[in-house]
Structure 1
Amino acid sequence: MPQRRLSVGTVDSFQGQERDIIAITLTRSNPQGEIGSLSDIRRMNVGMTRARRKLLLVGDSSTLCRHPFFGELLAYVKGLGGYRTANEMGKQD
């Protein structure tokens, strides 16, 4: 049976590494739409391009979409059918 490995770290800690699955939490949520350190697109690029098979992003789309980069990213993901709301994820059949 293959050994499973889980690595947890900051975006910077994964520089130069790849993983099959990357999960990134975009933890900004406020009515002003301020995203703080998430606005450093170069750092976001490092994290998001390290996934070989699957990239999971979790965040508040109403805050993130106010930034041009994340707004375009959300539109792209929605176009692919990869966008899910918290309500959708919480529903069980």
Structure 2
Amino acid sequence: MGNVDSFHGQERDIIAITLTRSKPQGDIGFLSDIRRMNMGITRARRKLLLVGDSSTLCRHPFFGELWAYVKRVGGSRMAHEVAIEA
């Protein structure tokens, strides 16, 4: 486990990034500082997992474009589509 800064200059097979902000007013707080997102999303060799509330995140232009791209390439899954077994 690590944060984005700890992966500078490195890659991993799987990168998971949680963008879990969900507010009725749509404010994404610290996630609006997207300077580190490029480093985070380009470190995955095989799989990139982004978890977040699309209705909140897409109010920000960067995340709106990212979400549109992910949907366009068929890489999105909604929470209700993922079966979780205990």
Aligned residue type for 2:13? D
Q: Which has the larger radius of gyration?
A: 1
Letter in 1 for 2:32: S
Q: Unaligned regions of 5+ residues in structure 1, if any?
A: 1-7
Is the Cα–Cα contact under 8 Å of residues 26 and 38 in structure 1 kept in the other structure? yes
Q: RMSD between aligned alpha carbons? A: 1.5
1:41 match = 34
Please give the secondary structure, in 2, of the residue aligned with 1:83: coil
Do 1:38 and 1:44's aligned partners in 2 also have CA atoms closer than 8 Å? no
Q: TM-score, normalised by structure 2?
A: 0.89
Mean CA deviation greater in 56-65 or 30-39: 30-39
| In 1: Cα distance, 2:6 partner to 2:55 partner | 28
Q: How many residues align?
A: 85
> Which structure 2 residue ranges, 5 or more long, are not aligned?
none
Q: Structure 1 stretches (4+) deviating beyond 4 angstroms?
A: none
Q: Is 1:22 matched with 2:15?
A: yes
